[in-house]
Structure 1
Amino acid sequence: MSWLSRVRNGIPFLPKRQSAENLWHKCQKCGSMVFVKEWEENYSVCPRCNFHDRIGPTKRFQQIFDAAQYELLPAPEVREDPLRFRDTKRYTDRLKTARAANDERDALVNARGRIDGHKVVVGVQDFAFMGGSMGIAVGATIVGGIRAAIADGCPYILFTAAGGARMQEGILSLMQMPRTTVALQELKEAGLPYIVVLTDPTTGGVTASYAMLGDVQIAEPGALIGFAGQRVIEQTIRERLPEGFQRAEYLLEHGMIDMVVSRGDLREKLALLVSYLTPETMEAA
């Protein structure tokens, strides 16, 4: 064995699972390097600048539900690729890629469980799945979640994150706007609350429909919330928009939402709202 091999073999290398890439997380906003363990224990929020990273349904459910215990609601069966859409790829191929990368059927997942002992049905929209775009499956999942909440006699809580309607489904995706609105009216007639948590980003047709129809509108700090993009608005009105336009704090200041709540305080705040808004007869059931 050469001296070089002896030296190389004598150097203590960390196992792959403990490599630098897995030990550190770089904040997208301030660039700080944070221990992954510290970052995860802080709800995927940077402890230096309070930047709220995007998270998927699994993490969200674990953070929200009591003891991270919940039951996933089955994804509704819908017709896929009804328009036989194709651009540089077939729509069916894009769906397969998104499902393989995210291990989810589509961009929205429902689960039932308890928050501080209160029964709830929670829906989480995942921006990582085709930009959280709203298609037939997302509309059907929201309707299914609302009807599950009515059957359980409990609130429906929805975490939104989307770039808007799904272009590959054309007018059928836009029809999910009135469809979800009608389902929310059923929830209202049942006397049950609908709470929306706007996360980064919530834009387009999602903002123009179910994202802004909550009995209570909450947003995470710094979340981008709007309909059209800032550049499009500036080009249309030919004016420079103010600093922080379309961010959660700006919307709170101008009365568009009810509160901005950090992720670490969100579970407690939701528990308080549910206890206030849910009828006692429903709680006892």
Structure 2
Amino acid sequence: MNWFTRVRNSLGFGEEKNTSEKDLWIKCKSCQEMLFVQEFEDNLSVCPRCEHHGRISADTRLALLLDHGFDLLPQPQVTEDPLKFKDSKKYTDRLKDARAKNPHDDAFSVGSGTIDGRPAVIGVQDFSFMGGSMGMAVGMAFCAGAERALTRKCPYIVVTAAGGARMQEGILSLMQMPRATVMTRRLKNAGLPYIVVLTDPTTGGVTASYAMLGDVHIAEPGALIGFAGQRVIQDTIREQLPEGFQRAEYLHKHGMVDMVVHRRELKDTLGTVIDYLQPQAAA
């Protein structure tokens, strides 16, 4: 940066231009092409050049999949910071920062409504809230969504996006894995479909529990899906991993995922799957 640029920036010149440019453009994380933000959002946050599926918020996801007029379940109240955890920052401060940037109090939101007229409950994890990490609030919200599906006798659809369990809650976060597993069993015993939509990324304890217990697993193109990171696996087995390892298409090819579906086709696909698993839902 030259002297003239430093002085100009210190005096505030050009700030309005920089801000507007930042608001107008976004760089695709896959092909690195510069895109108009409006064009990107109008295309459901999918790159029109390379079809890379960007991450979207829980509210956007619910509005995309559910018919207009759905109900948003209240966020369950849990004990915050039960371990009084502190690393480089207090856990309570991390929660405050995350809530200041998000419309919801935690990483899992549940909507109850219909999909093209078919009753359904959808739970969505939001990666923008502390990496979608699974803590007590997420576990409680997941269970609340399952309870609503049991009450309505309708399918429960969960859209996953998480880095795993929330380390700041220690063993209490890991306890959400068996809790969620029990709820999926209750849905199965009631004869209600449990459908999982795997989005980028779905990893760690979430993959090890409810993300892989669905009757049907649908993934978005290019989604990273796995338990441990590629580097950890590679160092453990001391072998080079194949190209595309842990991506949606690789898992589909090897039987871990039932189908890979483009975001614009996801709602119609879910409707078809519901009709197949629960024909009376379309009545």
Give the structure-1-normalised TM-score.
0.91
- The answer to whether the 8 A contact 2:199-2:220 is kept is yes
CA distance in 2, matches of 1:83, 1:19: 43
Find the counterpart in structure 1 of residue 243 from structure 2: 243
Find the counterpart in structure 1 of residue 221 from structure 2: 221
1:216 Cα offset (Å): 0.3
Quick check: 70-79 or 222-231, which moved more? Answer: 70-79
CA distance in 1, matches of 2:176, 2:24: 42
Q: What aligned pairs does 1:185-224 form with structure 2 within 5 A after superposition?
A: 185-224=185-224
In the TM superposition, what whole-angstrom CA distance separates every residue of 1:96-150 from its partner, at most 9, and x where no partner exists? 1111111211110001111111011101101111111111111100000000011
CA distance in 2, matches of 1:98, 1:24: 24
1:279 Cα offset (Å): 4.6
1:24 Cα offset (Å): 2.4
Find the counterpart in structure 2 of residue 28 from structure 1: 29
1:219 Cα offset (Å): 0.4
1:283 Cα offset (Å): 5.2
- The answer to whether the 8 A contact 2:161-2:198 is kept is yes
CA distance in 1, matches of 2:76, 2:162: 19
Find the counterpart in structure 1 of residue 170 from structure 2: 170
Quick check: 56-65 or 45-54, which moved more? Answer: 56-65
Which of structure 1's runs of 4+ aligned residues deviate more than 3 A?
A: none
SS at match of 1:234: helix
Alignment pair present for 1:41 and 2:42: yes
Cα RMSD (Å): 1.7
Q: What aligned pairs does 1:1-285 form with structure 2 within 5 A after superposition?
A: 19-67=20-68, 69-280=69-280
1:25 Cα offset (Å): 2.3
Structure 2 residue runs of 5 or longer lacking an equivalent are 1-13
In the TM superposition, what whole-angstrom CA distance separates every residue of 1:214-270 from its partner, at most 9, and x where no partner exists? 000000000000000000011111111011000000000000010000101101101
CA distance in 2, matches of 1:185, 1:229: 28
CA distance in 1, matches of 2:187, 2:106: 23
SS at match of 2:195: strand
In the alignment of these two chains, the number of paired residues is: 269
CA distance in 2, matches of 1:185, 1:271: 22
2:120 corresponds to which letter in structure 1?
Answer: V
SS at match of 1:173: helix
CA distance in 2, matches of 1:132, 1:267: 22
SS at match of 2:197: strand
SS at match of 2:120: strand
SS at match of 1:66: coil
1:26 Cα offset (Å): 1.7
- The answer to whether the 8 A contact 2:58-2:109 is kept is yes
SS at match of 1:157: strand
CA distance in 1, matches of 2:247, 2:46: 17
SS at match of 2:50: coil
CA distance in 2, matches of 1:92, 1:120: 34
CA distance in 1, matches of 2:115, 2:199: 19
Structure 1 residue runs of 5 or longer lacking an equivalent are 1-12
- The answer to whether the 8 A contact 2:117-2:282 is kept is no
In structure 2, do the counterparts of structure 1 residues 283 and 30 end up closer, same or farther at CA, with 3 Å as the change threshold? closer
Identity %: 63
1:57 Cα offset (Å): 0.6
Give the structure-2-normalised TM-score.
0.91
1:147 corresponds to which letter in structure 2?
Answer: E
CA distance in 2, matches of 1:99, 1:19: 26
SS at match of 2:198: strand
2:37 corresponds to which letter in structure 1?
Answer: V
